[in-house]
Amino acid sequence: MKRNAIVPYYLIMVAGLVLVFFLGIKGIGDAKEIAQEQEGGGEEQTEAFDPEQYAQQACITCHGENLEGAGAVPGLHGTGLSKEEISDILVNGRGGMPGGLVPAENVDAMAEWVANLE
């Protein structure tokens, strides 16, 4: 008794097409949820920006663990710069510091925090 060797391939193909069909239907439902979340209809869990925590994650690499400066990199305590000058440095960079390290919506909060460091 010889078996037809092509039958298993047809079964695999049919199973694959059924799987693609049902995953496509599920994707349509998920796309509606994603669109609703992007429009603001979903639950938003945005955390408030904490400049001190951000500095501990991003700034200590260059400015030192206590933000006192390291080598040619200046310290952030008592800079003597205004909030506007610090904002400009955060956005555009200066010297060895690249601009854009702080997200644009948080530049003002970060600049105020750095300006108030003593």
Decide yes or no: CATH 1.10.760.10 for domain 51-115: yes
Residue 41 has a pLDDT of: 59
Per-residue pLDDT of the chain (118 residues; tens, 9 = 90+): 577 788 889 999 999 999 999 998 888 878 878 888 887 654 555 578 888 888 888 888 888 888 888 778 888 888 888 999 999 999 998 888 888 888 889 999 998 998 888 7
| 3-class DSSP state of 78 | coil
Q: How far is CA 105 from CA 7, 30, 45, 91, in A?
A: 60, 29, 16, 11
pTM, two decimal places: 0.58
| Domain locations in the chain as residue ranges | 1-45, 51-115
Residue partners of 36: CB distance under 8 A and separation at least 6:
42
